[in-house]
Structure 1
């Protein structure tokens, strides 16, 4: 009879340990899920770019707007959605009605985080957190 009590006692201890370990794992999963939710909220907040429109190398700021973007958005498409834009061959020729007059050597140049881009707006894929400056300037 005492062997039976030992086996029952051992079985209860094993069940208790398994149950206890299972509860610890659930808490870890809840913590991980909470951390993932926080990361998602942060990335949702950061999924925007700032677009600045200016003239003459920033002397006159025309507009500044924070715009929400999705992964893979192309700059030209975002510009057309939020501003009055005209383009030729993927290059922006007019924004908000501002365009070079005949024989005027000015154009819309754009900069990403202060660096001039090497591709047209129709090829540039936006990254959250960037500041894009379109400046109407002499070339």
Structure 2
């Protein structure tokens, strides 16, 4: 194997790893559409975490997705794509900055969600929190 082949292989592996990371972030941060009907009984609270990162929290409602509840809590939320390809990029007027490697992370009861917001069906009493984070 010559040095050029070695460099090309390393570069390809780096690109594959970066693409995989971005895909995982997209899946975790928000699958669904912004066109879904908002829930009627949603109360939300905004707060600033100790590290000054914005976040939005609201209570789950049985049978409603985290994305439905987000759109009800913040009708100005920015969602790119549809269905399984939806990705939440802005909440309460604060867009995640790609140049700063920011994304909106979804948490349920203090744990990072394992599915996107459009797939996450909440239960009454769940604490849903969106936090602006970096990768």
Aligned length: 90
Q: Structure 1: 5+ residue runs without aligned partners?
A: 1-47
Q: Structure 2: 5+ residue runs without aligned partners?
A: 1-40
What is the aligned-residue RMSD (CA, Å)? 2.9
Are the structure 2 counterparts of residues 53 and 123 from structure 1 closer, same or farther at C-alpha, using a change threshold of 3 Å? farther
More helix by share: 1
Contact between 1:76 and 1:90, CA under 8 Å: does it hold in 2? no
Measured in 2, the distance between the counterparts of 1:135 and 1:73 equals: 20
Measured in 2, the distance between the counterparts of 1:103 and 1:121 equals: 23
Q: 2:122 aligns with which of 122, 126, 139?
A: 126
Measured in 2, the distance between the counterparts of 1:109 and 1:63 equals: 9
The TM-score with structure 2 as length reference comes to 0.54
Contact between 2:58 and 2:129, CA under 8 Å: does it hold in 1? no
What does residue range 1-139 of structure 1 map to in structure 2 within 5 Å? 53=46, 59-60=51-52, 62=54, 66-67=58-59, 69=61, 71-83=62-74, 84-88=76-80, 89-139=85-135
Structure 1, residues 96-127: CA drift from partner, whole Å, max 9, x if none? Answer: 11112341201000111111111110111011
The TM-score with structure 1 as length reference comes to 0.52
Structure with greater contact order relative to length (CA < 8 Å, sep ≥ 6)? 2
